[in-house]
């Protein structure tokens, strides 16, 4: 679905210093961009930005990169971050997951958040588009080099089952698996906009942490 362009969007992109216009120029240089050696965590498909802007405020000693495929969506995340008063430990840019190697060198990333991505449920051939498909896991392994982790949340049962199998087949170690996150003992969860919507309807939220070690 094509999203309507927001009338204030261009101004947000041009004036918000947290937006990176040419992220490919920073490949291998992200620690210089942040000005420190703190761990770098990225969110694929940041949406309107509630999750990662909140995380950046809660964890000032971690650097966050919010990545979104659609410009008309990331402007809302930028606006939310500005209104929340986020600091220098978060930046935003527009990119497709398939192009991550254009923006990062191996060992630059320690954690990837994947929250409520498109489950691509209708056709078997679409499985390769799921962000937890083995092809994407291979890509993440390249970014992590010696080790890293993916934290994953979804409301889709079939996608969660698929993801469990993909991580297991690749030999990743699974931890903190929850079939109903909001009725579990897990502490420290930060909700996304979608999560609030789905859980408000009584739908269970699935969550896992997957760890890769070369």
Q: Is 118 a catalytic residue?
A: yes
Residue (of 33, 35, 39) closest to 19 by Cα position: 33
Could you say which of 118, 155, 169, 180 is catalytic?
118
Spatial separation of the C-alpha atoms in residues 5 and 177, rounded to whole Å: 38
Spatial separation of the C-alpha atoms in residues 117 and 133, rounded to whole Å: 12
Torsions phi, psi for 162 (to 5 deg) = -60, -45
Distances (CA, A) of 140 to 40, 104, 119: 14, 11, 18
Spatial separation of the C-alpha atoms in residues 100 and 94, rounded to whole Å: 11
Catalytic (active-site) positions: 118
């Amino acid at each position: 679905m094509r999203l309507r362009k927001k009338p204030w969007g261009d101004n947000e992109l041009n004036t918000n210093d947290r937006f990176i216009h040419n992220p490919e120029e920073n490949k291998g240089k992200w620690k210089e961009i942040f000005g420190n050696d703190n761990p770098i965590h990225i969110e694929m498909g940041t949406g309107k930005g509630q999750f990662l802007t909140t995380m950046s405020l809660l964890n000032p000693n971690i650097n966050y990169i919010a990545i979104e495929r659609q410009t008309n969506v990331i402007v809302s995340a930028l606006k939310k971050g500005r209104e929340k008063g986020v600091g220098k430990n978060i930046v935003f840019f527009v990119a497709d997951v398939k192009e991550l190697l254009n923006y990062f060198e191996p060992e630059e990333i320690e954690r990837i958040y994947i929250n409520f991505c498109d489950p691509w449920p209708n056709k078997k051939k679409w499985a390769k588009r799921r962000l937890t498909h083995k092809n994407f896991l291979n890509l993440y392994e390249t970014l992590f080099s010696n080790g890293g982790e993916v934290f994953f949340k979804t409301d889709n049962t079939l996608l969660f089952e698929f993801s469990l199998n993909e991580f297991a087949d690749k030999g990743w170690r699974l931890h903190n698996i929850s079939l109903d996150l909001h009725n579990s003992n897990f502490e420290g969860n930060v909700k996304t906009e979608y999560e609030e919507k789905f859980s408000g309807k009584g739908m269970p939220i699935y969550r896992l942490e997957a760890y890769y070690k070369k």
